[in-house]
Amino acid sequence: MTIDFGHPDRPNSYIGKTVPRPNAPRLVQGRGEYVDDMVLPRMLHVAFVRSPFAHARITGIDAAEAKAVPGVVRIFTGAEVAEVCTPWVGVLAHLQGLKSPPEYAIAVDRACWVGEPVAAVVATSRAAAEEGAALVEVDYDVLPVVADMMTALDDDTPVLHADLGDNLAFRRVNEQGDVDAAMAGAHKVVTAHFTTARHTGVTPEPRSILADWNPADERMTVWHSTQAPHMMQTALATHLDIAESRVRVICGDVGGSYGIKVHVYPDEVATAAIARIMGRPVKFIADRLESFSTDIHARDHEIEAKIAVDAEGRILAMDVDDWTAIGAYSVYPRTSAMEGNQVVNLCGGPYDFEHYRARTSVVFQNKTPTCQYRAVGHPIAVAITEGLVDMAAAELGMDPVEIRRRNLYADDAYPVTSPAKMRFEGLSHHKSLDLLLDLMDYDGLRAEQAELREKGVYRGIGIASFIELTNPSPFMYGIGGARISAQDGCTVRMDPDGSIVALSGVTEQGQGTEAMLSQVVAEGVGVAPGQVHVITGDTQVTPYGGGTWASRGAGIGGEAALRAARALRDSILEVAGAMLQSDAAGLDIRDGEVVDAKSGEARMPLEELGRIVYFRGDTLPQGLPRELVQTRHYITSEYPFAFTNGVQASYVEVDTDTGNVRLLKHWCVEDCGRIINPMLVDEQIRGGIVQGLGGALFEEIHYDEDGQLLNGSMADYLVPMAAEMPDMVIGHVETPTKESSLGAKGAGEAGTAGAPAAVMNAINDALRPMGAQVTHMPFTPERVLRALGTLKD
């Protein structure tokens, strides 16, 4: 029996409603359980000695002074840790040509970036471990540094990893049609150079791990602030040579992840290796400088891009040359080629045109490794695409809305395959744009803008359409050989008191996974959401799954939960049918009671059914199945990804004297398919938008030409704070995916994908009367003034 989601008054209609998150009351009372809150008997703390040089040979380590610090128990070099921990290589077979050298948990003879671990100090307190780490003397021979992205492949640039032959990690061209001919015959060709700055996630809770090896039963238990417990189980088991079944990863409360906590980090693996050697629990909590220098970075791209249009504003072709530098290693196991790969897959995404060429060049350098961070590649591809579309409109003297109308895929065009060979099952660009214009009162805003301009106030309106990749299949990682699960599972059981327990392989990072699952299971079985206890984040307990990444929790984890819940409902009704001597098909479960499906008349509470099944099974017919527990797994198979779409608008005021950009308001309409909990979706979008606004206006990791990190604190790396952020209006169009019964796609990254482009277009809309334009993020006052010509070198 399928659920008719079209009926808001259907029984148990929890899917589509705002219900509160079961874990929120705990968190507002300070009762969260983050890794650093945990204390175990005999627990030790580890602090790392890190390379102060971007590239150096390690010639000696003298730990004598560190050992003398009271509380210091032991000091480890890279070679000692390597005895129990094998190195890894961050490549995937389907990213053809991607190369990277073996990376050790602690550098063995060479450090390749500022912050790479070179030794570890273990002590009875964190303070003692840190004190010891400061006293370890490491001798280095400094080596030549590759710092600049665009010269990394030049002949006179040193090769970072000699064995690899050159500094090119990966290159891919995605091409369709005849771009050169289309450009040659076009009415107008617009070219621009875009720069997106190096960012990092700045998770409020730093990376945290507590690892315990119990030599008596040969089991490792790891409490880890992570997005992907099962992936970590595999990684730790593989590189520490422990059977996978003997590694348990537990993920409690996570204080923000945003893609930062889905990777294998050398210091975290080293912590587990040290626990293995010492047979005691060992805790590592990164400090803020370590977060800036060793959490993955992202988005460090330089792009030269062209768009060709005809006289009517129809897009004829796009040509994109993307460059990115990924630091010294491709990050394991998801690789650092994925972001560039996404850029060449996603450019031009909303538009119906023919000729497309996008090339990404991914190079090594002596900086912190980059990898997947919220909305991987999307903010870059959307900025390129939407920046070019606006510039083309300006060239043609056309309104930015009009050029989009002429080029967006028609809402009835689906299914369709884009020139970048992305397959779209069903999107709603035009409907979304209509709703956006309505919500923002586009014409009214344009009138206000014109009026204020007369008075010397420069306001701008920026629009950005986008697509977002969600619900990934094994095409993302699995086919490349990584043990990263695209499928996910859920076990749902009924306990004797009639309450429901749901165990899921997707994880809670604060986005509301557990609330979403409680609603889906509640509706699927027929109980109130408060009757469903959700358990996530424990590899020993939950079904095998992928965790949280690529906006997959609701679409994949939610579908598995719905199927398991429906199956449990059927099991319950089969038992109820036998007990009530009724046809199970004529019964239903509503609000925790078995009822007559037609009349709604109450027949039996679930707790009574539970009592009989668990304690008086003798009264039931022999051979009646007693399993009030069901597990279902779900994987997408028809499409490699479920694309969503949306459109954002930004309204800004640019102070042409100071270069300051004030965000006045922001709008987003997005289509994530079936919405399970409207408030949670809206807040995902708002949080995502602000993360994108940070990239547009503030965030930038700086290095000098020696590869030294220059801004490793929150005082120097600016993030969005409450005072500068605008209020945001969120609207929805719902085009459920037909692949699943739930119809949900992802919503976690849409905000971040489109916000920087919308702000860029708004600033440029404000600056256009002065002939100025910015394309280098973040759009700091200095860059705005340079664009205006007020500031000159």
Partner 1 sequence: MSDQFENRIDIALTVNGEPVEARVPAGQHLVDFLRLELGLTGAHASCEHGVCGACTLRVNGDAVRGCLMLAAQADGAEIWTVEGLSDSAAFTDLQEAFVARNALQCGFCTPGMLVAAEELLSAGGVPDRAEIREHLSGNYCRCTGYEAIVDAVETVARARAGEAAQ
**Where do contacts with partner 1 occur on this chain (CB under 8 A)?**
20-21, 23-25, 27-32, 34, 36-37, 70, 127, 201-206, 253-258, 287-288, 509-512, 679-680, 683, 686-691, 713-715, 719-723, 725, 727-728, 751
Element (H, E) at 472: none
Partner touching 205 among partner 1, ligand FES, none, CB below 5 to 8 Å by kind: partner 1
Of 567 and 759, CB closest to partner 1: 759
> Is residue 464 helix, strand or coil?
strand
Element (H, E) at 119: strand 117-123
Of 126 and 248, CB closest to partner 1: 126
Q: Tell which residue, 389, 341, 443, 429, has the closest CA to residue 758.
A: 389
The distance of closest approach from Cβ of residue 513 to ligand FES in the complex, given in angstroms and rounded to an integer, is: 14
Tell me how far apart the 2 most distant CA atoms of the chain are, in Å.
89
Partner touching 206 among partner 1, ligand FES, none, CB below 5 to 8 Å by kind: partner 1
Q: What is the rounded distance in angstroms from the CA atom of residue 505 to the CA atom of residue 485?
A: 10
Cis amide linkage into residue 778, ω under 30° from 0: yes
Of 55 and 224, CB closest to ligand FES: 224
The distance of closest approach from Cβ of residue 288 to ligand FES in the complex, given in angstroms and rounded to an integer, is: 8
Residues 194-233 as x/- pattern, contact with ligand FES by CB under 6 A? ----------x-----------------------------
Residues 585-644 contacting ligand FES, CB under 6 A: none
Of 238 and 711, CB closest to ligand FES: 711
Residues 6+ apart with CB under 8 A from 682: 730
Tokens representing residue 569 in the block: 């409902």
Q: What is the CA radius of gyration of the chain?
A: 28
Q: What is the rounded distance in angstroms from the CA atom of residue 765 to the CA atom of residue 711?
A: 31
The distance of closest approach from Cβ of residue 691 to ligand FES in the complex, given in angstroms and rounded to an integer, is: 11
Q: Which amino acid is at 486?
A: A
Specify whether the CB–CB gap between 22 and 599 falls below 8 A.
Answer: no
Partner touching 42 among ligand FES, partner 1, none, CB below 5 to 8 Å by kind: none
Which of 478, 510, 545, 558 is the binder for ligand FES (CB under 6 A)? 510
Partner touching 555 among ligand FES, partner 1, none, CB below 5 to 8 Å by kind: none
The distance of closest approach from Cβ of residue 210 to partner 1 in the complex, given in angstroms and rounded to an integer, is: 14
- Give the number of residues in contact with ligand FES, rule: CB under 6 A: 3
Question: Which segments of 418-529 are extended strands (E)?
Answer: 423-424, 458-470, 488-494, 500-504
Residues 6+ apart with CB under 8 A from 217: none
The rounded Cα 660 to chain-centroid distance in angstroms is: 30
Partner touching 145 among ligand FES, partner 1, none, CB below 5 to 8 Å by kind: none
Q: Which amino acid is at 601?
A: E
Q: Tell which residue, 545, 557, 537, 548, has the closest CA to residue 222.
A: 537
Partner touching 36 among ligand FES, partner 1, none, CB below 5 to 8 Å by kind: partner 1
Of 256 and 781, CB closest to ligand FES: 256
Place of tokens 């037909």: 738
Specify whether the CB–CB gap between 350 and 429 falls below 8 A.
Answer: yes
Q: What is the rounded distance in angstroms from the CA atom of residue 231 to the CA atom of residue 224?
A: 12
Of 510 and 778, CB closest to ligand FES: 510
The distance of closest approach from Cβ of residue 204 to ligand FES in the complex, given in angstroms and rounded to an integer, is: 4
Q: What angle do CA 44, 47, 53 make, to 5 degrees?
A: 165
Which of 71, 256, 577, 605 is the binder for ligand FES (CB under 6 A)? 256
Of 192 and 718, CB closest to ligand FES: 718
Please report whether residue 32 would count as binding ligand FES according to CB under 6 A.
no
Q: Tell which residue, 663, 580, 680, has the closest CA to residue 624.
A: 580
Of 411 and 468, CB closest to partner 1: 468
Of 34 and 475, CB closest to ligand FES: 34
Partner touching 31 among ligand FES, partner 1, none, CB below 5 to 8 Å by kind: partner 1
Of 285 and 398, CB closest to ligand FES: 285
Please report whether residue 496 would count as binding ligand FES according to CB under 6 A.
no
- The b-or-e profile of 534-572 (16+ CB within 10 A means b, else e) is bebbbbeebbebbbbbbbbbbbbbbbbbbbbbbbbbebb
| Residue ranges binding ligand FES (CB under 6 A) | 204, 256, 510
